[in-house]
Amino acid sequence: MTDKTNTTDTTGKAEKTALTPATHTTPPARFSHGVRKGNILQVAGQVGFLPAAEGQPPTPAGPTLREQTLQTLDNVKSILEEGGASWDDAMMVRVYLTDVDHFAEMNEIYNTYFAAQGLTQPPAARTTVYVGLPAGLLVEIDVLAVLD
């Protein structure tokens, strides 16, 4: 678990804290699932992997865009919460799809998901097509959040 306090270093600057929820595996390279510095929290690109299971490779939530998107949003939410944030703190959501034909379905899933979150205001968002995800993965989402 990550220390969520907003601490400063010896120069008085906010310290940068890497965020890795217990549901996530350790990243395979030198990056963090999320980073908080002061009141800024950046969630790295997340995909629809199920929660980590000891000794098991990451497993997609399912083959469909709906299954993967809902799991991806849950994965993002767990990092936001690990950093002391919520969806209401999200300022920008970036969605990367592997297929241009998924735009309409993604918008429906996105709208339904965020309607259920009870947000006071929706975040800004952008969606683009990106073909560089590992085989079988259909969506990646990253989020920038600003905490009060």
pLDDT at 13: 81
pLDDT at 9: 60
Can you give the pTM of this predicted structure?
A: 0.89
pLDDT at 10: 60
Measured between alpha carbons, how far is 84 from 140 in angstroms, rounded to an integer?
A: 22
Measured between alpha carbons, how far is 51 from 35 in angstroms, rounded to an integer?
A: 19
pLDDT at 3: 45
Residue stretches of the chain with pLDDT short of 70: 1-12
Helix (H) or strand (E) holding 72: helix 65-82
Sheet of 34-37, strand order: 16-19, 34-37, 40-46, 139-146, 90-97, 124-129
